[in-house]
Structure 1
């Protein structure tokens, strides 16, 4: 892989994470100064290991290996931190597609006392949307969403689109999505 292309993708990922933080300043100014969005690294994985109870094992420990593969160079990984506590993780990848990015894994810290409850998915999905726009993609698709999470994705503008799945159409925005079929 060309080093210049890798550097460009790294910059796009950082910009997408940063843009999501800017967006949250309008929605939840009380959280904005205590949030940080970075990459999934060994610190994030170690922090994830302390989540109790963790009802789903998404295998986050595999992410550093995935990131090292050329096939995943354009995947976006997100570790959302609130102060010193890991609040959420997300992994999204175009998987070779020219028109969509798939959100393969998205998980929030199960501690319901955290101030970030209700903000993890919107923040992560915001970063994924910005990144997908920068890559020139049309769709953000939730791959195999948990049934209990479908309603929350709907509140964030995702709709069931025939032939695509649970998707957000980047060309239409939240309000214009009406692809129920």
Structure 2
């Protein structure tokens, strides 16, 4: 992948993160003012380590290495912050697929006092959907969802599709009004 393609992907990723901010503002109004959406960086990894002991360790520290590898150039990483608290993170990658993007990791801060508790997954998935549309993909797939999270994904429009997994078909539409002109957008 040449430098121009990498720069184009960086712009698409930034646009997807911007979509998360816009969706948060539309859905959550003034509460969204305290949200910041960025990429997973060293600050996010350090903040995540403060979550421990957590029941699930997805190995987020590996993301920093993955981001430097050409094989992961098309992957999208999202760090969602509420004030100075890391609310959640997401890592999704089309890998070698031309049809789907796999949400490999999605985790919210286990601190139940954070006001972001119920909307980390919907906001991160909104960014993944938007990014997948810009890449011209057809599906967003949750790989190996935790059983207790499955219902939340299903409330967000994901269905078990034979041969694909727990998936969201992008042709079914996207709620954002800013998708005009993008492939598969409605």
Does TM, normalized by the shorter one, top 0.5? yes
Could you tell me which runs of 5 or more consecutive residues in structure 2 were left unpaired when the two chains were aligned: 176-186
1:110 aligned residue: 110
List, as ranges, runs of 4+ consecutive aligned residues in structure 1 with deviation greater than 3 Å: none
* SS of equivalent residue, structure 1 residue 33: helix
1:62 aligned residue: 62
| Root mean square deviation of aligned Cα | 1.2
The alignment of Structure 1 onto Structure 2 pairs a total of residues equal to: 175
TM-score (norm 2): 0.92
Q: Which whole-Å CA distance do the structure 2 matches of 1:73 and 1:99 have between them?
A: 16
Could you tell me which runs of 5 or more consecutive residues in structure 1 were left unpaired when the two chains were aligned: 176-181
Aligned partners of 1:52 and 1:111 also within 8 Å = no
2:143 aligned residue: 143
TM-score (norm 1): 0.94
Q: Which whole-Å CA distance do the structure 2 matches of 1:29 and 1:36 have between them?
A: 14
Post-superposition offset of 1:53: 3.6
Q: Which whole-Å CA distance do the structure 2 matches of 1:52 and 1:95 have between them?
A: 29
Q: Which whole-Å CA distance do the structure 2 matches of 1:171 and 1:50 have between them?
A: 39
**What does the per-residue CA deviation read over 1:95-135, in whole Å, with 9 as the maximum and x for residues that have no partner?**
10000000000000000000101010001000000000000
* SS of equivalent residue, structure 2 residue 61: helix
